[in-house]
Each structure stands twice: as structure tokens, then as C-alpha cells.
Structure 1
Amino acid sequence: MRVMGVDPGLTRCGLSLVEAGRGRSVVALDVDVVRTPSDAPLPMRLLAISDVVEHWLDTHRPDVVAIERVFAQHNVSTVMGTAQAGGVIAVAAARRSIDVHFHTPSEVKAAVTGNGAADKAQVTEMITRILALQSKPTPADAADALALAICHCWRAPMLSRMAAAEAMAAKQREAYAAKLKRAKVKAGR
């Protein structure tokens, strides 16, 4: 499974591509950070991110895109920009029928370090070890994008089992509701 990890942002948007092997084996294939000038108009910044992401999607052909889920921060404009960048990326993937999954920062940190409150240095150190990199990925956005991709690789089997269980439960609820309806009709005769 090829996973494109995305740490969305307007000023710096981290992109990564990893391939999952057997077990917890993961290999880094590419990593980059898209930078846009803070004084550029918002539509032009989003377009620049979109252009690079579309090139990545067409070139690398990931099976899935894992994007960091935006959460409440003190700076509303930062949250808005991050959400807008993530939205542009999700749309580009959806146009290509590529599944998109969102992971919270604490899910990513917990998956990679075992601690949902780990700091950036701990995440970067673990990414370097997990991927057997010769040097730490920089800037932090690159390490975060790699962490997102790894998180998804490791969580995907569980997410798949949960989706299957939810589908089975829905099917059983429908069957039970139909059974009750038949019994009600039969009792009313």
C-alpha cells in the first residue's frame, strides 16, 4: 500500500510518500515541503499547493492520502488556512478516486511514538528510526507528513476491520428490524 501523508499548511505544506510492507515495515519513497509566500493572495497560495499536490498524485499514484485533521487552535486564521489547504488536497485526491483519511495530531503521535502528547523532536526522532533514515527529515513539516503516512499504514488494518464490523452491524440491525416488522404484521392478522 502506497500512502501519501500530508501535513497541510499555507506557508509550509509537508508531503510524503511511503510504502507499507509486511507487518510494520514502511519505506520512505519521497518527501517534500511546498512553500508559499505569506504575502501572496490566498487563492494563489492554494493554487500553488494544489498544483504540486496534483503533480504528486499523478506521478506517485498513492492508494490512499492521509491528511492531518485540523483541530482548534488559538489562531483562527491559522486554522482556516490549514483547513483550506487540507480541503484542496482532499478534493484533488477525490477527483482521482483516491481514498482520503484524516488523522488527529494525537493519533499520529501515539501511532509513531506511543505517546499522544509527544513533542516534535520525539516524532522526528522516531520517524528517523522507523524509516532508517541517515538524517532527520527537515523541516518539521516533512517529518510530520512522514508520520501521517506511517500512522495510516499502521492504523489502516484496524480501520478496515472497524468499517467491516460497522457494515455487518448495520446489516444485522436491518435484518432484525425486518424480522420485527414481519412478526408485527403476522400478529396483526
Structure 2
Amino acid sequence: MSLHDRHKEFAAELAEAGMALARDIAEAALKAEAVADKIALAGAHERLARSVRLTIQLCERLERNAAQAERPSDQPDITALERRLAPQLDLRKAQVRAAVRRSIEQDYEGEDAEILERSLEGLLEEWALTRRFLDEPPMAMVSVLRRKLKLPDDLRVELPQAARAGPS
């Protein structure tokens, strides 16, 4: 068995174990009677779900790398494209994250703010995997994320001029 196959097997095993734990935690959260227990279990479930998503992404990346190694060299290099887009993705995530965090900070604090910020991170990571992430105007993304997080509509958030213009 090659090292690549072993890594793929380990990642798949981690994803399966993570999903089993996530299901157990979700079930426990639904059965919990104390609000504090529900909140703690929901936070644990969210972190575990993110770990599973990242593990699945790792499995997919291992598959792409294996396919890339077998592909003739005249095909476009996906890894090079990912490296080229990474700074743009990071910048866009930072812009949108900052705007939504300002919205969160205006009305929430403590544990509520932490829960919203963790949810924001998960949503940003998921959305960054879509093709639309760099195509949508940043303020449109901020509006969508604020709706998904159920933040009040009366907040005004401004992005720097360069961010409003979108990708160059």
C-alpha cells in the first residue's frame, strides 16, 4: 500500500469517526434539558462538524493530487491555480469577516458573540469553496451572512472602497 493510499485511508477513517461523534453529540444536545448543556453541546457539535468538513476537503485534495500526478503535463495545474487564488480568497474572507464581526459586536457580547463568530467562520469556510465567492460583491456576501446569522437588519456596515469594487 502506497503512502498516498494510507493517508487517504487515515483521512477517511477520521471523517467516519468524526461523523459518528457528531451524530452522538447532536443527539445528546437534542436530549439535554439545561440550556447551558445545549449550548456547550452545540458548540462541540459545530467544532466537530467543521473538523469533518476539513477532513473531507483533505480527502478530496489527496484525490486531486493523485489525479494530478497521473495527468499529462499539458493539462492546467490545479495546485498552481489554488496557490494563485489563495491570497484573493484570504483577502475576501477577511473583508467579509470584519464587516460581519462589526455587526455582531454592535449587538452581542460574551457567549452569544462567540457562538455567532464560530458560525460565521463555518459559513465563510463553506462559501469560500464555491465558485461565486470571488464573483459576488463583498457587501452582498455580508448581507447574506447577516441574514443567515439572523443579525438585525438596521445595522450599517461599510467596507473600504477597494473591497466594494470587487476583484480586479
TM-score in terms of structure 1 length? 0.22
- Higher relative CO (Cα under 8 Å, sequence separation at least 6) belongs to 1
Q: Where is the helix percentage greater, Structure 1 or Structure 2?
A: 2
Structure whose alpha-carbon radius of gyration is higher: 1
TM-score in terms of structure 2 length? 0.23
